[in-house]
Amino acid sequence: MEVNTHNQRTTTYNVVGVMKGIEEPDRYVILGNHRDAWIFGAVDPSSASAVMLELTRVLTEYRRETGWSPRRSLVFCSWGSEEYGLVGSQEWVEQFQKQLSNRGIVYLNLDMAIEGNYTVRTKSSPLLYNIGREISKLVPNPDPEEVKAGRSTVFDTWLYRNPDEKRPGYPSPCLNVS
């Protein structure tokens, strides 16, 4: 293998798209992911880039077909120069700090969306731990073998594979669901 690396300063870019909200257009739900990778490029960041691109495609198509609009503005951010130093996202937040502190509702980081076929993993701040759990109860299990075993939702399989989660009050900073 021959590697040719050039250590030089260069310009980096963020790509930001907005789907304007209909009821609260000045409130932002921000989804972000970076484009650059230095290891595991298929997992980090390419899997999340694919998810975000597909999400924007589906929402745009749905809007075109039905006239639907989100309640709040959706801001899709593709960060440049995340590896090494979070440069793209940090500079963007610094530039729009005042607007974001007044109008930002949530930031959903889509980094490493897919890490294999055994589990889906969500991480969040403590106030959001239960959201992943509750959503997983609404998702039908896509694995016929799991359904046959009596685990009809993603939550059922997650609980089966993570028995410690059954303990009352067990904190779940990382929800693993299959």
Q: Which residue has the higher pLDDT, 77 or 170?
A: 77
What letters, b where the CB count within 10 A reaches 16 and e where it falls short, cover 3-35? eeeeeeeeeeebeeeebebeeeeeebbbbbbbb
**How far is it, in rounded angstroms, from Cα 156 to Cα 162?**
10
Please say if the pLDDT value at position 176 is more than 50: no
CA distances from 107 to 125, 143, 175 (A): 11, 30, 18
**How far is it, in rounded angstroms, from Cα 27 to Cα 16?**
16
Q: Which residue has the higher pLDDT, 155 or 163?
A: 155
pLDDT bucket at 165, cuts 50 / 70 / 90: low
pLDDT bucket at 160, cuts 50 / 70 / 90: confident
pLDDT bucket at 175, cuts 50 / 70 / 90: very low
Please say if the pLDDT value at position 168 is more than 70: no
Q: Which residue has the higher pLDDT, 159 or 34?
A: 34
Q: What is the dihedral of CA 139, 31, 56, 25, to 10 degrees?
A: 110
Q: In the chain, which segments carry CATH 3.40.630.10? A: 13-114
Task: Give me the mean pLDDT over the 143-152 stretch.
Answer: 93
pLDDT digits (tens, 9 = 90+) for 14-73: 999 999 999 999 999 999 999 887 776 677 888 889 999 999 999 999 999 999 999 999
Q: Which residue has the higher pLDDT, 136 or 41?
A: 136
Residues taking part in catalysis: 82
Contacts of 39 (CB under 8 A, 6+ apart): none
* pLDDT score recorded for residue 47: 84
CATH class of the region 13-114: alpha beta
